[in-house]
Structure 1
Amino acid sequence: MAIANIPNYGGGIKICPEACYNDELFDICIVHDLTKWELLRTFPKAYKGKHVHHPSVTMIRGRQVDVTTEWPVLVQGDGEILTKTPVNVTIEKNALLII
C-alpha cells in the first residue's frame, strides 16, 4: 500500500500517477492477491504508471486513511521508518510550505 499526494517516489516510480499535491486528497495504491512472480512482472510498469490497470491493483482517494493489519507492519514516510500499524493519516491543507 502506498499513500501519496505526489505521483512519484523512489527514482521516478509513478506509484500514484494521478496524485496532485494541491487537490486536498491522498491517492492510495493498494496491491492485493499478487504472487511474487506476478509482482516481478508488474513492477516495471509502475515506472510509467501503467501498473494501475492490473486487476490486483486498486486505486482510491481520500482525505483520511486508517490502516490496520493483522500484525504490526512498519510504516515509512519518505524512506524513513515512522511507526507501525495501526496508523491514521490525515491530509491537511497548507500544512507544509514548500519553496
Structure 2
Amino acid sequence: MLAFVLLIAEVLLLDYSKVSFWLLFIPTLLVVAYQLWWILPYTKLYSQEVAQTYDLDDINSIKIMTANVLMTNKNIEKLVLLIKENKPDVLVTLEN
C-alpha cells in the first residue's frame, strides 16, 4: 500500500524528463507489481479455485477441530464437552 502511494506521489510531484524520476519510478513500479502478484489471488478480483458447497455430505467429508490450549489451563472439561458435541474426525491442539 505504501509503495502504491509512493508511486502516485512520484507521478504527481516529480519531473518525467529527469533520469532521477525513472530511477525512482521503475523500481517502485516493480515493487507494486510484485506485491500485487502476491496479493491479488487472495482478493475478490480473482475467481475462487474451490467452489462453495451447500450440500453437506457426512459420508464424504471430515470434521477438523482446532483448539488453542494452555498447559497451565486446568479447566479441560469445557474442551472435552466441545469435542463430544462436535465429534471431530481430526483434533488439533496448539499452545500459544
Q: How high is the TM-score relative to the length of structure 2?
A: 0.21
Which has the larger strand fraction? 1
Which has the larger helix fraction? 2
The structure number with the bigger radius of gyration is 2
